[in-house]
Chain A
Amino acid sequence: SQQGEEDPQALSIQEGENATMNCSYKTSINNLQWYRQNSGRGLVHLILIRSNEREKHSGRLRVTLDTSKKSSSLLITASRAADTASYFCATCSGNTGKLIFGQGTTLQVKP
């Protein structure tokens, strides 16, 4: 079962521009996480936002969470070519600790 739906599926921008990705989910959550995946590699955790938080920052990353709309967004500011990757949201619900991943957004940053 896919909990998260991400939008857009693909995004292409120029270096220096900002990139925004959105994630919508269906059920109540404990927290929502964003991961990054370089082509053919494992995923790397970027940031976690809890259900009682509305915004969180980490370096050039900004995550927002709107539990009333069941949606989250990831903003990458001043993008670099090295940010080229796929980005996934993942939701954690209940007490099993299971994470349910979205389909991902593929970001291409052109130098």
Chain B
Amino acid sequence: DGGITQSPKYLFRKEGQNVTLSCEQNLNHDAMYWYRQDPGQGLRLIYYSQIVNDFQKGDIAEGYSVSREKKESFPLTVTSAQKNPTAFYLCASSSDHSGANVLTFGAGSRLTVL
């Protein structure tokens, strides 16, 4: 089955630690995205990548970093510089369908800072 796999599903972090969230897709999609969701809120874009070895900041990139060394993988590192990292993180990918951009999402990773 094609899809997006995010891991871990739950993650606990102590203040001052960096953590990396994994996102892998086997859909052969070119573009990948990371969104953050806070309780009762919509999604906010952290970073996105339209092609391997290239990525752009979204609306809330401060305190986060990404890499895109392979088409299938787009890991997100939440650094100690992110002041309020407790949130639900969603990875998505897309291939352009006739000018549209429909996203396929993973199941999410919930990060809690202790």
CB within 8 Å of B: which residues of A?
A: 1-2, 4, 30-31, 33, 35, 40-45, 48, 50, 88, 90, 92, 96-104
Contact = CB atoms under 8 A, between A and B. Distances in A.
B90 A98 contact: no
Given A33-B100, A43-B90, A101-B44, 13 more contacts: A2-B42, A30-B99, A31-B101, A41-B108, A42-B92, A42-B105, A42-B108, A43-B105, A50-B100, A97-B96, A97-B101, A98-B58, A103-B42
A88 B90 CA distance: 14
A17 to B, nearest CB: 24
B50 interface: yes
A48 B101 CA distance: 9
Contacts, number: 71
B63 interface: no
Contacts of B42: 2, 4, 88, 101-104
Contacts of A45: 102-104
Interface string B6-29: 100000000000000000000000
Given A88-B43, A97-B50, A98-B48, A33 B102 contact: yes
Contacts of A44: 105
Given A40-B108, A42-B90, A103-B42, A31 B103 contact: no
16 contacts: A1-B59, A2-B42, A40-B88, A42-B4, A42-B106, A42-B107, A43-B92, A90-B103, A96-B56, A98-B48, A98-B101, A99-B33, A99-B45, A100-B45, A102-B42, A104-B42
A89 to B, nearest CB: 9
Given A42-B90, A43-B105, A98 B45 contact: yes
Nearest to B91: A42
A101 B46 CA distance: 13
A44 B42 CA distance: 14
